[in-house]
Amino acid sequence: MEEEELDCPNSSSEKRYFPESLDSSDGDEEGILACEDLELNPFDGLPYSSRYYKLLKEREALPIWKEKYSFMENLLQNQIVIVSGDANCGRSSQVPQWCAEYCLSIHYQHGGVVCTQVHRQTAVQLALRVADEMDVNIGHEVGYVIPFENCCTSETILRYCTDDMLQREMMSNPFLGSYGVIILDDIHERSIATDVLLGLLKDVLLARPELKLIINSSPLLISKLSSYYGNVPLIEVKTKRPVEVVYLSGAPKEALESVLRLLFEIHQSGEKGDIVVFLACEQDIEKAYEIVCQEGSNLNPDLGELVVVPLYPKEKCALFKPNDETEQRCQVHQRRVVLTTSSGESLIWSNTVKFVIDVGVERRKVYNPRIRATSLVLQPISQSQAEIRKQILGSSSSGKLFCLYSEEFASKDMRPLKVAEMQEANLTSMVLFMKRVDIAGLGHCDFMNRPAPSCFSHLPRGTEEAALTCWKPFLHPEGDHFTLINIYKAYQDTTLSSTSEHCVEKWCHDHFLNCSALRMADVIRAELLEIIKRIELPYAEPAFGSQENTLNIKKALLSGYFMQTARDVDGSGNYLMLTHKQVAQLHPLSGYSITKTTPEWVLFHEFSISDNNYITITSETTPELFMQLAPQYYFSNLPPSESKEILQQVMDRLSPISPMETEQQVCEKCPETTEPRCTLQ
């Protein structure tokens, strides 16, 4: 749906001024008195139109309306307010208007109102709707800001924007001084920008005591929010939805066939209402669209036309409530079938939707920083997503939800909450943004969920000793990389011996391990093995526990991470980097810290600069192995140091001939080897 096709009564400059009855009064006394008695809109000083009062009745019928007094009272007395409600309760459209009334009451002395949205089309549609309800012009009192489009002026009171645009605004205005109220909407979507804003606004609120923060979320995220923000007021909006849920178990591979069969059965039953279908990916949308269009022409014309609407993630749009005439026409002559994916969960749906079909799985984009690639992973949706899909039917007088999975699948295989995008996406742009706003590292921002992929769970205060006790059986004397292999092998054994995914998650929880990170490691390993087989590289199964296997792992690590080598310069755990003169200590949760051993030379995975400089995921190496595998150009360009002198002595001892000849001899021997060179641990 294109923006210019939308019905936006107040978007033109020809705004209403007086009702038609006044225009025909010809200046008589009654007309003048009526004009004087008109209620004026406090936001623009013009009389309210008749449409305003019609929309006001619809607003008053929304479930959230009865909470207005409680919300306004809490807004006056608190800096943070959390609003919990279903998708159709009206929180996205009404709460910003109430906040605008609050700012008006204090004469905008602290600024206006901004409300963030995850999707750009939702921001546009809400701005259009709210401008209509407030009886003002879009782009003046109410506006929106999305990438490459700014429909606001300096006098805009309430603006809707995408969360990444507000994050971008913080680069030039870190304390967001032009706003008196900030509303973060639909945070259960867990986008990177929203999570970053949640963390950064904690500090902004401390610097600006007059600033108000409103958080809109679905009920399932409330407990996590309460623990994140502490004791803050909560406005809960209760709604009753007469929704019939039908569970139809089936295999994920046959989901598309089941969807199409069920879709035609609903249409042939003669029951009225539009159908929304949640599929796993865009490819399924394309297949379903093609099949429904072909088969639709062969259906009984007396049942009405079957209109297929594919909603791709890049073409998201909101379905507004149609007027009475359109709704009646749709019910008699047409049935819309909307094909979408998880991206359609936060859209504004019409009350003509009577049926929802949910396949229960989705293809999620998961970024792997080690290979710098994004993979599409098929996995179950979360219980919170399933509930949101059910809420689409909340605005209907009645509706049916068809779940193409069993209740057991929903309770055991679906995780309670949607995974934060921060834990699965490429964080390059976010890191650059953090640097731009002068935040030294991710550890300095209090995220609700920290970025992965560490396989160790974040330890709550007071559980460190219990966690170390659980991790000790996994420790390997050669270092943390080998400890990670032990953990992964134990995870594999548990997966093979467990009867359900729930048992695996419980094992991870009991051992203070991150199940999602281990699951991702499993996926990555399977992809690497597939690549090795596809390009026909020689492959051998790992010989766990053998000295040869340990040496091969060290060689592989050093070949890729030769730049991340450090040496204990004084025997007390002060490690000096070879490439620069930074000194760091082993991380307290490193296996070496637990066993109280300090190898002289180590290869590390990460170096973090903070109050205490730490190197994490470290394994012992030797200068002899370093000189064999590190490129000559790298060694030659190392800054002068005691460590470099030691390495030079090792190189002289290993070979009396020149380093270039040594490197050439090693290269000449490589093609002659007949041993398998690929081993996945």
Helix 50-60 vs helix 120-134: crossing angle, to nearest 10: 120
Q: pLDDT at position 83, please?
A: 92
Q: How far apart are CA 83 and CA 67, in angstroms?
A: 10
Give the count of beta carbons closer than 10 Å to the beta carbon of residue 640: 7
Q: pLDDT at position 307, please?
A: 87
| Spatial contact of 127 and 82, defined as CB atoms under 8 Å apart | no
Q: pLDDT at position 148, please?
A: 81
Q: In 3D, which of 86, 23, 377, 137 has the Cα closest to residue 240?
A: 86
Can you list the domains of the chain with their CATH numbers? 50-237 (3.40.50.300), 244-317+334-419 (3.40.50.300), 466-484+523-653 (no CATH)
The CA–CA distances, whole Å, from 385 to 295, 344, 392, 410, 560 equal 30, 11, 11, 11, 40
pLDDT means per 10 residues in the chain (681 residues)? Answer: 38 37 41 59 91 93 92 93 86 94 91 92 91 93 90 92 90 88 89 87 89 88 80 84 80 77 87 88 86 81 82 53 45 77 74 87 76 72 86 72 88 83 76 67 57 65 78 88 90 88 87 84 82 82 82 87 86 83 83 86 76 80 86 80 86 65 45 55 67
Helix 480-497 vs helix 501-510: crossing angle, to nearest 10: 140
Residue 654 has which token pair? Answer: 């290993």
Q: pLDDT at position 160, please?
A: 95
Residue 10 has which token pair? Answer: 């107040």
Q: How far apart are CA 342 and CA 629, in angstroms?
A: 47
3-state secondary structure 527-542: HHHHHHHHCCCCECCC
Q: pLDDT at position 408, please?
A: 86
Q: pLDDT at position 597, please?
A: 85
Q: How far apart are CA 334 and CA 540, in angstroms?
A: 60
Residue 324 has which token pair? Answer: 């009475």
Q: pLDDT at position 648, please?
A: 87
Q: pLDDT at position 59, please?
A: 92
Q: How far apart are CA 117 and CA 194, in angstroms?
A: 9
Q: In 3D, which of 83, 324, 346, 338 has the Cα closest to residue 217?
A: 83
Q: How far apart are CA 410 and CA 104, in angstroms?
A: 46
Q: In 3D, which of 428, 408, 539, 555 has the Cα closest to residue 481?
A: 555
**Rg from Cα positions in the chain:** 31
pLDDT, tens digit, 9 for 90 and up, residues 347-362: 767 778 889 999 988 8
DSSP state of 211: -
Q: Is 414 exposed, middle or buried (0-12, 13-18, 19+ CB in 10 A)?
A: buried
| Spatial contact of 515 and 509, defined as CB atoms under 8 Å apart | yes
Q: In 3D, which of 223, 186, 195 has the Cα closest to residue 446?
A: 195
Q: pLDDT at position 69, please?
A: 93
Residue 194 has which token pair? Answer: 């929203």
Residue 73 has which token pair? Answer: 């009272």
| Spatial contact of 379 and 361, defined as CB atoms under 8 Å apart | yes
The dihedral over CA atoms of 91, 97, 99, 100, expressed in degrees to the nearest 10, equals 160
Q: How far apart are CA 129 and CA 322, in angstroms?
A: 13
SS3 category, 467: helix
CA 645 to chain centre: 49
| Spatial contact of 221 and 214, defined as CB atoms under 8 Å apart | no
DSSP state of 443: G
For residue 9, whether the previous peptide bond is cis, meaning omega lies within 30 degrees of 0, is: no
Q: Which residues contact 446 (CB under 8 A, 6 or more apart)?
A: 199, 202
Q: In 3D, which of 498, 461, 453, 455 has the Cα closest to residue 474?
A: 455
Give the count of beta carbons closer than 10 Å to the beta carbon of residue 448: 18
The dihedral over CA atoms of 526, 529, 534, 539, expressed in degrees to the nearest 10, equals -160
3-state secondary structure 263-298: HHHHHHHCCCCEEEEECCCHHHHHHHHHHHHHHHCC
Q: pLDDT at position 72, please?
A: 94
Q: In 3D, which of 607, 581, 666 has the Cα closest to residue 632?
A: 666
Q: Is 259 exposed, middle or buried (0-12, 13-18, 19+ CB in 10 A)?
A: buried
Q: pLDDT at position 442, please?
A: 44
Residues, the chain: 681
Q: pLDDT at position 552, please?
A: 87
First to last CA, the chain: 50
SS3 category, 404: coil
